[in-house]
């Protein structure tokens, strides 16, 4: 069985010391170990950003795509090989600015992948511009007079789109995050794991301390029913998305893959692709 070491690489990290992404990476590796996955059976598709560099630091099959497009690739990876544990990962800009359209459609398509967002409410790699999840009034290079746009509510959007697994973690709360990621991977369908993953270099407002004091933890609330969609939506609306834990889970999720007519359990890559004469001739017949 694979260990943490098996999921690490020898690359020296390019992240700043203290960056939230370290914690997300560690939790992800831990979850994979605890689920007894093997590195060769994990495919991780990452976007562009500081967060997108995660593929350099995890020993798995890694695809580092262009900015904003991790989700279309990840869904296709899963369809091509259903035996893989497929993860998509990236930042708030990657996922909710340029990648927003793909996010919305992945949510409703429900291919069995897990999407781990490292939300630091800023653009890290391009050195500190306002991101779609930045708070109103936030001052950055691109909004020196304060952000005047409303921030994206990615978890409410997930619920409104019919996503069956909506969770939020905090990079520094490893225990909870590992649990969340494990359940997300096991969930049959598209699972959103948002994480608050502080950028210690450029975001001096949304810090570890900020999140620790602001986040409401539904995992610790015995009265909270994570199967109640309305309740989940209300919780997120009321707390301005500053909620952590597994916020919503649909007990009746059916994977996209299971709904494709004629689709085989082994997906695509493990099939023989040569067409037999009978099939070929049946197809040709309509052109005669």
Partner 1 sequence: MLKEVCWQIGGEQGGGLDSTVEVFNTVASRAGYYVYAYKTFASRIKGGHTDFTTRLSTERVQAPAAGVNLLVTLDQESIDLCARNVYPGAIILADEAINAKLPEGIDAKLLTMPLNKLTLALGNPLMKNNLVLGASAAFLGMPIDGFKTYATTRWGNKGEEFVALIHKSMQEGYDYVVANWPELRLEIEEGDGKERLLMIGNEAAALGALAGGCRTVFSYPITPASEIAESLVKIFPKVGGVAVQMEDELASIVACIGAGFTGARAMTATAGPGISLMQEAMGLAAMTETPVVIVDTQRGGPSTGMPTKQEQSDLMALAYGGHGDSPRIVLAPGSVGELIPMTAEAFNLADNYHCPVLIASDLAIALFQQTVEPEEAKLSSMPQINRGPLANPEELAGLARDVFQRYSKQVNENGVSARSLPGIKNGQFLATGAEHGAFGKVTESAANRVYMMDRRMRRIQNVNTEAVRYFGSENADIVVIGFGTTVGAAKESIAEIEAATGKKAGVLQIRLIYPVPVAQIQAYVKGAKAMVVESNATGQFSFMLKGAGYNPANLYSLLKYDGTLITVEEIRNAAMAVLNGEGQYFVSGGGQGVRKAADPTITLAAQEA
Ligand X SMILES: Cc1ncc(C[n+]2csc(CCOP(=O)(O)OP(=O)(O)O)c2C)c(N)n1
Q: What are the residues binding ligand SF4 (CB under 6 A)?
A: 15-16, 19, 21, 50, 120, 124, 199-202
Which x/- pattern over 213-252 shows residues binding its own copies (rule: CB under 8 A)? ----------------xx--xx--x---------------
Identify which of residues 64 and 255 has a Cβ nearer to Mg ion in the complex: 64
- Could you say whether residue 150 binds its own copies (CB under 8 A)? yes
Q: Is 198 in the site for Mg ion (CB under 5 A)?
A: no
**259 is an interface residue for its own copies by CB under 8 A:** yes
Task: Fill in the per-residue mask, 89 to 128: x = in contact with Mg ion (CB under 5 A), - = not in contact.
Answer: --xx---------------------------x--------
* Least separation in angstroms between CB 240 and partner 1: 21
Question: Which of residues 211 and 256 has its CB atom nearest to partner 1 in the complex?
Answer: 256
Nearer Cβ to its own copies, position 254 or 270?
254
Query: From partner 1, Mg ion, ligand SF4, none, which one binds at residue 21 (CB under 5 to 8 Å depending on kind)?
Result: ligand SF4
- The DSSP code sequence of the chain is ---HHHHB-SPPP-SPTT-THHHHHHHHHHHHHHTT--GGGEEEEE-SSTGGGGGGSB-SEEEE-STT-HHHHHHHHHHH-TTSEEEEEEEHHHHHTTTHHHHHHHHHH--S-EEEEEE-SEETTTTSEE-TTSPTT---SS-TT---SPPP-HHHHHHHTT-SEEEEEETT-HHHHHHHHHHHHHSSS-EEEEEE---TTT-SSS-HHHHHHH-EEGGG-TT--TT-HHHHHHHHHHTTT-EEEEEEE-TT---GGGGSTT--TTTTTTS--PPPHHHHHHHHHTT-
Partner in contact with 4, chosen from partner 1, ligand SF4, Mg ion, none, beta carbon below 5 to 8 Å by kind: none
């Amino acid at each position: 069985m694979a260990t943490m070491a098996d999921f690490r690489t020898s690359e020296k990290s390019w992240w700043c010391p203290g960056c939230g992404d370290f914690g997300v990476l560690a939790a992800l590796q831990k979850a994979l170990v605890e689920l007894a996955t093997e590195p060769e059976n994990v495919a991780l598709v990452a976007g562009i950003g500081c967060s997108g560099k995660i593929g350099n630091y995890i020993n798995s099959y890694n695809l580092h795509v262009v900015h904003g497009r991790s989700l279309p690739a990840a869904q296709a990876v899963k369809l091509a090989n259903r035996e893989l544990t497929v993860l998509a990962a990236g930042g708030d800009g990657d996922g909710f600015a340029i990648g927003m359209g793909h996010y919305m459609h992945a949510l409703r398509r429900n291919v069995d992948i897990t999407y781990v967002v490292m939300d630091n409410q800023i653009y890290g790699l391009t050195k500190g511009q306002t991101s779609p999840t930045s708070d109103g009034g936030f001052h950055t290079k691109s909004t020196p007079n304060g952000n005047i746009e409303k921030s994206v509510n990615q978890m409410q959007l997930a619920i409104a789109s019919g996503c069956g697994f909506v969770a939020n973690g905090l990079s520094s709360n490893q225990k909870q995050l590992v649990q969340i990621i494990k359940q997300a991977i096991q969930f049959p369908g598209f699972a959103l794991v948002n994480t608050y993953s502080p950028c210690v270099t450029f975001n001096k407002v949304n810090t570890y301390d900020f999140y620790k004091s602001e986040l409401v933890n539904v995992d610790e609330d015995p009265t909270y029913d994570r199967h109640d969609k309305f309740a989940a939506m209300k919780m997120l609306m009321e707390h301005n998305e500053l909620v952590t834990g597994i916020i919503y889970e649909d007990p009746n999720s059916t994977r996209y893959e299971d709904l494709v007519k004629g689709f085989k359990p082994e997906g695509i890559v493990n099939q023989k692709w040569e067409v037999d004469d009978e099939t070929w001739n049946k197809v040709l017949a309509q052109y005669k």
